[in-house]
Amino acid sequence: MLELVVELRNLINEVPNKIELLPDVNEKINSSKWSKKEIIGHLCDSGSINHKRFVDILISIDQVTLSGYNQVSWVQVHNYQESYSIEEILNLWSTINNRIIKLLSKIDEKQWNLTCKLEDQTIVTLEWLVSDYIQHMKHHLKQIFSY
């Protein structure tokens, strides 16, 4: 499981510099698609939600059932496009994920195997959930770099 922590740490160390070099972070392809800036904002929201999920799983006596969230509404209400610079959003993204890294760095093998229930009632481990979080992040980072 340490490899997941290392993978997340590598992303947090590498991605901000690459994104800051992009000339088109504010550009919207069309009004129904997020800009690159909004995608990073979405990843901040995802980090916040998942940090809470990870903590809930670690501290709960009973099995946690996860619920989804309205991603589009979160991006809209935060207004990442107009209210924040890309530097502010990247700083938030890095901070949230560094907090997750510190949390995950301290858990033991038994905790990685704690289970939770997804909305569809599928039971997964904390390890699976962290891996899914990283894959989700990489999916959106590919969108940013392949526009």
pTM for this model (two decimals): 0.94
Which own/partner contact pairs does 45-49 have at CB distance under 8 Å and 24+ positions apart? Answer: 45/69, 45/71, 45/74, 45/75, 45/78, 46/71, 46/133, 46/136, 46/137, 47/93, 47/96, 47/97, 47/100, 48/96
Which option is the CATH number for 2-17+34-146: 1.20.120.450, 1.10.540.10, 1.10.1530.10, 3.40.50.720?
1.20.120.450
Residues 6+ apart with CB under 8 A from 2: none
pLDDT value at residue 147: 53
Please give the chain's pLDDT, 147 residues, in tens. Answer: 679 999 999 999 999 999 988 988 889 888 889 999 999 999 999 999 999 999 999 999 999 999 999 999 999 999 999 999 999 999 999 999 999 999 999 999 999 999 999 999 999 999 999 999 999 999 999 999 885
